């Protein structure tokens, strides 16, 4: 069954490059409602915890270093079929393979510095949302 929420982060590369406004505009134009949002910075430990599922991957160290290198925007988004529709909106993990008009095609630099994160399943959307937000910080 499709859920109606997904979790996203605007990553340090896109924040540093001044893309927060344009990315949020694309997200809203894509039909998503922002039900929680914060401007924050992950410690290397917290980045490691968030991406623990990738701990055995060769890029894990680089990923944690990058994700803790500067501020991010974390948000919970609401829309019918949110997880799948958001992944369509952001495009492939590697921006070189992302479709024209997608957020990663427009704003990402590389597979590592790929502008935005989007949950890959309903289960992970719930886990990742709870990692960043208390129930009192979510407004639907």
Tell me the torsion sign for CA atoms 46, 47, 51, 55.
negative
Locate 113 and state its tokens.
């510095």
Nearer CB in complex with ligand CMP: 2/52: 52
Query: From the CB of 136, what's the least distance to ligand CMP, in Å?
Result: 26
Give yes or no for a contact between 125 and 119, defined as CB atoms under 8 angstroms apart.
yes
Neighbours of 22 (CB within 10 A): 14
Nearer CB in complex with ligand CMP: 36/42: 42
Residues 6 or more apart whose CB falls under 8 angstroms from that of 54 comprise 60, 63
Closest CA to 75 of 22, 29, 137, 136: 137
Residues that bind ligand CMP (CB under 6 A): 54, 59, 62-63, 93, 111-112, 114, 117
Query: From the CB of 63, what's the least distance to ligand CMP, in Å?
Result: 5
Nearer CB in complex with ligand CMP: 73/136: 73
Is 117 noted as a catalytic residue in this protein?
yes
Nearer CB in complex with ligand CMP: 62/137: 62
Neighbours of 43 (CB within 10 A): 11
Query: From the CB of 26, what's the least distance to ligand CMP, in Å?
Result: 16
Measured CA to CA, the distance from residue 125 to residue 140 in angstroms comes to: 16
Please identify which of the residues 19, 54, 117, 132 carries the catalytic annotation: 117
Catalytically active residues, by annotation: 117
């Amino acid at each position: 069954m499709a859920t109606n929420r997904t979790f996203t982060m605007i990553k340090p590369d896109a924040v540093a490059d001044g893309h927060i406004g344009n990315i949020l505009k694309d997200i809203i134009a894509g039909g998503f409602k922002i039900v929680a949002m914060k401007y924050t910075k992950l410690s290397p430990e917290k980045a490691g915890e968030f991406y623990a599922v990738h701990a055995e991957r060769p890029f894990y160290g680089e990923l944690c270093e990058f994700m803790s290198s500067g501020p991010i925007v974390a948000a919970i988004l609401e829309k019918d079929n949110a997880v799948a529709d958001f992944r369509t909106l952001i495009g492939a993990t590697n921006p070189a393979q992302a479709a024209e008009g997608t957020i990663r095609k427009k704003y990402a630099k590389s597979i590592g510095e790929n502008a935005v994160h989007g949950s890959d399943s309903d289960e992970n959307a719930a886990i990742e949302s709870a990692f960043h937000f208390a129930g009192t910080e979510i407004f639907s």
